[in-house]
């Protein structure tokens, strides 16, 4: 609750941030008093409300997880059929809760049947296969007598069935269920599970590089969303006492999608607002139904092109202008992050760096003064049990007719910095991607000690203790710098996803711990002034440092850095060198790909030089300086490189 | 008797499968040059069926005129779609499936407009280009409209293969999908290529509309169904392969008819769903898939 107090302190109108949703919730509860409370009307409201639960479900999988399960209405339909059949054959024993549970279970199974195969390909395959299921299930039901064929199953006609809840009490319960689903989705996306969804949504390579299992995480997103959509089927059946093929046509799936896109996927309330608008129009303006397809189609098209983040993002911008929202992307004292920054840490903040994020060092400001503090040790946590080196042996990989990496041997020892240099196209990044298992080897071996890595999936490489950065930084752009680092910590502070979502004691502790550790690493890199800034607002050099922080946050045994110095300021460059040396001192093996040869030579213990995919040189920096072949390839001269004075 | 039933189902399956194959081919043409999967293809075909209905049933125009009118309308709609729903996303760097939503929205618009134009009129049969006759081979009645669909699909596939393999433009069209930037450096105008891809895909779709109209009659509300079945043909055959499209389409068409005949009638859509789930589970890249679908 102190969080609320924190927000209330800030600015003049921020109380509206809480007052507006609160007012909307109250309005939701008293809608029957405003718009008529006849049994028929209540039924109509409840129908829309049960659809909103599907919208919440769709938002979890698609808005956050990036998994386009467009045909989620298929899942809703099988859940609903399961619930109504159960009630038909056991009219006495099936209440609202039982229907929700039955719907959730059957919906979850249905979602898996679609998701398991479709996700093997991924991308738009899931969208199309699930849409086809949304088309097929009502079509099959139309002909199938067991589920009532075309006319469906009317529960009110079943002898002995009498629901315990009805009237306004039922309405209030259904509203509460929608709010519960929303609260659940909030808790989910702000948990370690939700962090994984967003990472995966951003980039599969990014996600696997911090040890997230892509397939399983996608399946989880779809599973959770299917369970919720199936439960919505239960709510629908209980309130409508009826289900027929027409209750979930494929066009309904498109309506739900439109609601989500228009409201704003990837935000908690956006899909509810959009869903209420679209489904409300569809439900209560039936005279226009003939043309709804045109109206919704045009809206969907316009939003997809011009406002891909939806209405809510617009409202948020408006809220900022009116002083209702704290400005996003600025580390405002007293804001969300103000609570995280404990005074002691702030006091110990690096000398010369702005103590508080005030004007002048807002967005766009890179690191201008280097942190004077001694970097703490980062001894390996993942893969620390092994003491072997990272060994690449006879690695070969061809793309078409070009052999990008040709019989390369390389050993990165723990506690040492191994520089990897070479001109553009010499195969450096390919070698890194081979180690990360983004590409597979044509020949050769990659292992840590005696443990083979080259037959493992990419996430297993991270879990074996190898962290990496990317040539062009991969960050979750809509998340803050801090939120970008947290998922990496969460790989090694283990607890069940459910504990984190439901905020069970261990979940709370681990959530806090992940946040605190991420915060600490960013602070030691002198990034305390950008903690709460959205990654999209960060300058290039800072993005690199945030990525570096993420790699360190894994507490790996090996770090692979892909041109980390590109675009850094001199001060940042110095920090980078210190970080590399500190990693090595802590016992971490560093593989440093760089074009900045002086820097590599000044800190590396061993240097490998690649040329056209082959190893041209391997040895100490001193040997490299004396080597004529490297000099001739790089500079076209026949003399050894001069030792810089 | 049993054999005759089997053969009749087989012929019908091959005919409908040819239509799925044609839609799959149009998807492939677009995907090869734009990396976009245009779900509106099925509804574009239905727009063609609507034109066919007006030309042939209402106005009694000659078949050739109908064909030209279908081509004109479908290609025009295809170009409009490229402009309003696809190009904004081609310009945008980076990832995302925004284009998928846009093409789905466009599909919805076409379908609603088409069904409003068609109104409440009852579904009527549309005369085929080779008449409505049938001939009998080994006791099996084969409708000429079935033959037409099959022949058109084969011809389109062969033409496309020649185009991609033998002509500079065809190579350029594939190069653009591989890497837009490199293609641009080689002097290939990516925007013009993607427009051209929409024209060719529109042409293939128009031909599909021309041959499907006599088979499905004038029901213009099943565009999404055909669009999705075209995708399933593609998923079975394998992405990126023209032959895969054809074989996937034919397999799907025949599987539906066989399911109807031997398993249970009226549920042929279930056959398609089961088939695609099995293929994806066992062989995700499809039977003839040459390359994995790019991770999007």
Nearest CA in chain B to A127: B100
CB within 8 Å: B269 and A140: yes
User: What would the pLDDT profile of A438-470 be if each residue is shown by its tens digit?
Assistant: 998 999 999 998 899 989 999 999 999 999 999
Identify the residue among B86, B95, B280 best suited for mutation to test binding to A, counting A beta carbons within 10 A and taking the highest: B280
Phi, psi of A467 (to 5 degrees): -100, 160
Highest-pLDDT range among A167-171, A580-584, B266-270: A580-584
Q: Is A143 on the interface with B (CB under 8 A)?
A: yes
Compare CB distances from A117 to B108, B281, B295 and report the shortest one's residue. Answer: B281
Identify the residue among A293, A302, A535 best suited for mutation to test binding to B, counting B beta carbons within 10 A and taking the highest: A293
**Structural domain contains residue A284:** no
Instruction: State the total domains in chain A.
Output: 2
- Please state the rounded mean pLDDT for residues A318-334: 62
Model confidence at A114: pLDDT above 80: yes
User: What would the pLDDT profile of A192-236 be if each residue is shown by its tens digit?
Assistant: 999 999 999 988 899 999 999 999 999 999 999 999 999 999 999
Share the mean pLDDT of chain B: 88
- 3-state SS record for A46-98: HHHHHHHHHHHHHHHHHHHCCCCCCCHHHHHHHHHHHHHHHHHHCCCCCCHHH
Which domain CATH number covers B212? 1.10.3470
Q: Are A445 and A453 in contact (CB under 8 A)?
A: no
Rounded (10°) angle between helices A505-524 and A481-492 = 120
Report the first-to-last Cα separation within chain B, whole angstroms: 50
Q: Which tokens go with A606?
A: 């061993």
CB within 8 Å: A120 and B85: no
Give dist(CA A447, CA B123) in Å, integer: 67
Model confidence at B82: pLDDT above 90: yes
Q: Which of A208, A234, A250 is the endpoint of a domain? A: A250
- Please state the rounded mean pLDDT for residues A177-186: 95
CA distances (Å), origin B203, targets A188, A489, B222: 47, 54, 20
Q: Are B233 and B17 in contact (CB under 8 A)?
A: yes
**Structural domain contains residue B288:** no
Q: Are A621 and A607 in contact (CB under 8 A)?
A: yes
Q: Are B260 and B26 in contact (CB under 8 A)?
A: no
Instruction: State the total domains in chain B.
Output: 1
Q: Are B207 and B156 in contact (CB under 8 A)?
A: yes
Compute the count of residue pairs across chains A and B with CB atoms less than 8 Å apart.
129
pLDDT of residue B51: 95
User: What would the pLDDT profile of A279-300 be if each residue is shown by its tens digit?
Assistant: 888 888 877 778 888 999 999 9
Pairing relationship of beta strands A417-421 and B140-143 according to DSSP bridges: unpaired
**Structural domain contains residue B294:** no
pLDDT of residue B248: 95
Q: Are A494 and A511 in contact (CB under 8 A)?
A: no
Q: Are B24 and B245 in contact (CB under 8 A)?
A: yes
Task: Measure B122 CA to nearest chain A CA, in Å.
Answer: 17
Tell me the β-bridge partners of A561.
Answer: A592
- Please state the rounded mean pLDDT for residues B191-217: 92
User: What would the pLDDT profile of B221-254 be if each residue is shown by its tens digit?
Assistant: 889 999 999 999 999 998 878 899 999 999 999 9
pLDDT bracket for residue A605 (50, 70, 90): very high
**Structural domain contains residue A333:** no
CB atoms within 10 A of CB A281: 17
**Structural domain contains residue B151:** yes
Q: Which tokens go with A100?
A: 């929700």
User: What would the pLDDT profile of A564-579 be if each residue is shown by its tens digit?
Assistant: 998 899 999 999 999 9
Q: In terms of pLDDT, which residue wins out, A437 or A635?
A: A437
pLDDT of residue A328: 56
Lowest mean pLDDT among A232-246, A373-387, A531-545, B54-68: A373-387
Q: Which of A194, A216, A250 is the endpoint of a domain? A: A250
Nearest CA in chain A to B277: A117
Give dist(CA B108, CA A174) in Å, integer: 31
Model confidence at B90: pLDDT above 90: no
**Structural domain contains residue B292:** no
Percent of chain A with pLDDT over 70: 89
pLDDT bracket for residue A369 (50, 70, 90): low
Q: Are B288 and B247 in contact (CB under 8 A)?
A: yes
Residue A239's domain comprises 40-250
The length of chain B in residues reads: 296
Model confidence at A364: pLDDT above 50: no
Percent of chain A with pLDDT over 90: 52
Burial of A151 (0-12, 13-18, 19+ CB in 10 A): exposed
Pairing relationship of beta strands A466-468 and A558-562 according to DSSP bridges: parallel
Phi, psi of A134 (to 5 degrees): -65, -30
Give the contacts of A11 (CB within 8 A, at least 6 positions apart): A323, A326
Q: Which tokens go with B183?
A: 């293609």
- Please state the rounded mean pLDDT for residues B181-190: 75
Nearest CA in chain A to B269: A136
Q: Which of A250, A272, A296 is the endpoint of a domain? A: A250
A120 chain-B contacts, CB cut-off 8 A: 280-281, 284
- Please state the rounded mean pLDDT for residues B150-170: 91
User: What would the pLDDT profile of B119-149 be if each residue is shown by its tens digit?
Assistant: 888 888 888 888 777 888 877 888 888 999 9
Q: Which helix (H) or strand (E) holds A393?
A: strand A390-399
Q: Are A190 and A515 in contact (CB under 8 A)?
A: no
CB burial string A152-191: b at 16+ within 10 A, e below: bbebeeeeeeebeeeeeebbeebbebbbebbebbebbbbb
Give dist(CA A35, CA A471) in Å, integer: 58
Lowest mean pLDDT among A327-336, A478-487, A550-559: A327-336
- Please state the rounded mean pLDDT for residues A40-52: 91
pLDDT of residue B93: 60
Identify the residue among A139, A301, A309, A536 best suited for mutation to test binding to B, counting B beta carbons within 10 A and taking the highest: A301
Which domain CATH number covers A418? 3.40.50.300
Tell me the β-bridge partners of B142.
Answer: B135
What is the separation of C-alpha A444 from the centre of its chain, rounded to a whole number of angstroms? 34
Model confidence at A370: pLDDT above 70: no
pLDDT of residue B63: 92
Q: Are B135 and B145 in contact (CB under 8 A)?
A: no
Q: Dump the DSSP string for B144-180.
A: HHHHHHHHHHHHHHHHHHHHHHH-HHHHHHHHHHH-H
pLDDT of residue A160: 80
What is the value of ipTM here, to two decimals?
Answer: 0.92
**Structural domain contains residue A70:** yes
pLDDT of residue A343: 39
Task: Measure A375 CA to nearest chain B CA, in Å.
Answer: 36
Q: Which helix (H) or strand (E) holds B46?
A: helix B41-52
Give the contacts of B134 (CB within 8 A, at least 6 positions apart): B141, B142, B143, B144
Note which residues in 280-309 of chain A have CB less than 8 A from chain B: 290-294, 296-298, 300-301, 304-305, 308
pLDDT bracket for residue B192 (50, 70, 90): confident
Give dist(CA B6, CA B113) in Å, integer: 39
pLDDT bracket for residue A336 (50, 70, 90): very low
Q: Are B97 and A123 in contact (CB under 8 A)?
A: yes
**Structural domain contains residue A394:** yes
Q: Is A68 on the interface with B (CB under 8 A)?
A: yes
pLDDT of residue B240: 79
pLDDT of residue A62: 92
**Structural domain contains residue A409:** yes
pLDDT of residue A636: 64
CB within 8 Å: A135 and B232: no
**Structural domain contains residue B75:** yes
Percent of chain B with pLDDT over 70: 95
Share the mean pLDDT of chain A: 85
Read off the pTM: 0.88
- Please state the rounded mean pLDDT for residues B20-39: 91
pLDDT of residue A644: 47
**Structural domain contains residue A296:** no
pLDDT of residue A353: 39
pLDDT bracket for residue B294 (50, 70, 90): very low
pLDDT bracket for residue A329 (50, 70, 90): very low
pLDDT of residue A334: 34
pLDDT of residue A637: 64
CB within 8 Å: B278 and A117: yes
Model confidence at B94: pLDDT above 60: no
Give dist(CA A445, CA A431) in Å, integer: 12
Q: Spell out where A132-232 has E strands.
A: 153-154
Residue B46's domain comprises 2-119+126-282
Give the contacts of B93 (CB within 8 A, at least 6 positions apart): none
Highest-pLDDT range among A93-97, A112-116, A372-376: A112-116
**Structural domain contains residue B295:** no
């Amino acid at each position: 609750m102190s969080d609320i107090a924190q927000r209330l302190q800030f600015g003049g109108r921020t109380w509206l941030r809480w007052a507006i949703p609160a007012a909307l919730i109250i309005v939701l509860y008293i809608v029957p008093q405003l718009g008529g409370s006849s049994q028929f009307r209540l039924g109509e409201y409840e129908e829309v409300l049960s659809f909103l639960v599907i919208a919440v479900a769709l938002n979890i999988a698609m808005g956050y997880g990036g998994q386009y399960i467009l045909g989620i209405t298929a899942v809703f339909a099988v859940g609903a059929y399961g619930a109504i059949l159960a009630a038909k054959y056991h009219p006495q024993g099936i209440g609202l809760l039982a229907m929700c549970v039955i719907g959730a279970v059957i919906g979850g199974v249905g979602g898996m049947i679609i998701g398991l195969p479709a996700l093997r390909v991924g991308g738009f395959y899931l969208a199309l296969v699930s849409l086809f299921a949304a088309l097929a299930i009502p079509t099959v039901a139309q002909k199938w007598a067991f589920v009532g064929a075309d006319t469906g199953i009317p529960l009110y006609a079943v002898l002995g069935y009498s629901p315990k809840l009805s009237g306004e009490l039922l309405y209030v319960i259904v509203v509460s269920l929608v709010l519960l689903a929303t609260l659940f989705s909030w808790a989910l996306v702000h948990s370690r599970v939700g962090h994984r969804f967003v990472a995966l949504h951003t980039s599969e390579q990014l996600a696997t590089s911090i040890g997230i299992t892509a397939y399983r995480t996608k399946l989880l997103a779809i599973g959770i969303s299917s369970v919720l959509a199936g439960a919505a089927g239960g709510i629908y059946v209980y309130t409508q006492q009826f289900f027929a093929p027409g209750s979930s046509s494929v066009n309904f799936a498109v309506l739900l999608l439109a609601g989500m896109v228009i409201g704003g996927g990837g935000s908690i309330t956006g899909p509810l607002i959009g869903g209420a608008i679209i489904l409300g129009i569809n439900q209560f303006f039936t005279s226009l139904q003939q043309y709804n397809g045109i109206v919704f189609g045009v809206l969907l098209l316009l939003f997809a092109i011009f406002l891909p983040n939806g209405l809510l993002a617009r409202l948020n911008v408006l809220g900022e202008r009116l002083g209702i929202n704290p400005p996003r992307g600025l580390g405002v004292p007293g804001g969300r992050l103000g609570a995280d920054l404990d005074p002691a840490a702030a006091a110990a903040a690096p000398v010369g760096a702005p103590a508080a994020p005030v004007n002048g060092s807002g967005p766009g400001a890179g690191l201008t003064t280097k942190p004077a503090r001694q970097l703490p040790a980062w001894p390996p946590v993942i893969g620390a049990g092994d003491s072997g080196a990272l060994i690449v042996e006879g690695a070969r990989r061809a793309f078409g007719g070009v052999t990008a990496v040709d019989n390369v041997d390389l050993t990165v020892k723990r506690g040492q910095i191994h520089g990897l240099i070479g001109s553009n196209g010499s195969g450096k990044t390919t070698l890194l991607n081979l180690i990360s298992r983004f590409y597979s080897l044509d020949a050769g071996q990659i292992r840590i000690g005696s443990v083979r890595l080259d037959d493992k999936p990419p996430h297993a490489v991270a879990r074996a203790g190898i962290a990496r950065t990317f040539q062009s930084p991969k960050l979750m752009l809509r998340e803050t710098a801090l939120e970008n680092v947290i998922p990496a910590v969460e790989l090694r502070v283990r607890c069940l996803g459910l504990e984190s979502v439901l905020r069970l004691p261990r979940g709370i502790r681990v959530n806090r711990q992940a946040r605190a550790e991420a915060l600490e690493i960013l602070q030691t890199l002198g990034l305390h002034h950008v903690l709460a800034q959205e990654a999209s607002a960060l300058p290039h050099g800072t993005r690199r440092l945030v990525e570096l922080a993420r790699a360190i946050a894994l507490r790996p045994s090996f770090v692979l850095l892909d041109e980390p110095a590109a675009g850094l300021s001199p001060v940042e460059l110095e920090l980078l060198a210190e970080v590399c040396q500190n990693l090595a001192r802590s016992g971490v093996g560093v593989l440093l790909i760089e074009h900045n040869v002086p820097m590599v030579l000044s800190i590396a213990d061993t240097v490998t030089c690649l040329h056209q995919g082959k190893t041209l040189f391997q040895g100490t920096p001193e040997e490299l300086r004396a080597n004529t072949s490297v000099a001739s390839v790089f500079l076209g001269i026949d003399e050894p490189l001069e030792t810089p004075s | 008797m049993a054999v005759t039933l089997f053969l009749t189902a087989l012929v019908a399956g091959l005919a409908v499968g040819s239509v799925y194959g044609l839609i799959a081919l149009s998807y492939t043409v677009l995907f090869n040059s734009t990396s976009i999967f245009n779900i509106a293809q099925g509804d574009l075909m239905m727009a063609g069926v609507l034109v066919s209905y007006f030309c042939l049933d209402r106005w009694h125009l000659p078949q050739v005129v109908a064909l030209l009118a279908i081509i004109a309308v479908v290609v025009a709609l295809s170009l409009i779609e490229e402009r309003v729903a696809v190009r904004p996303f081609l310009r945008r760097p980076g990832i995302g499936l925004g284009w998928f939503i846009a093409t789905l929205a466009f599909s919805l618009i076409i379908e609603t407009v088409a069904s409003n134009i068609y109104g409440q009129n009852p579904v009527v049969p549309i005369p085929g280009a080779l008449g409505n006759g049938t001939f009998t081979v080994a006791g099996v009645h084969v409708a000429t409209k079935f033959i037409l669909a099959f022949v058109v699909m084969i011809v389109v596939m062969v033409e496309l293969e020649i185009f991609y393999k033998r002509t500079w433009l065809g190579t350029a069209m594939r190069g653009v999908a591989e890497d837009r930037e490199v293609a641009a450096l080689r002097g290939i105008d990516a925007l013009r290529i993607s427009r051209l891809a929409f024209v060719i895909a529109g042409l293939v779709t128009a031909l599909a509309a021309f041959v499907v109209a006599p088979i499905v009659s004038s029901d213009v509300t099943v565009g999404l169904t055909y669009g999705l079945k075209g995708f399933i043909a593609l998923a079975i055959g394998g992405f990126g392969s023209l032959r895969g499209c054809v074989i996937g389409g034919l397999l799907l068409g025949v599987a539906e008819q066989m399911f109807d005949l031997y398993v249970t009638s009226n549920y042929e859509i279930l056959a398609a769903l089961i088939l695609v789930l099995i293929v994806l589970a066992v062989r995700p890249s499809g039977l003839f898939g040459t390359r994995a679908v790019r991770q999007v």
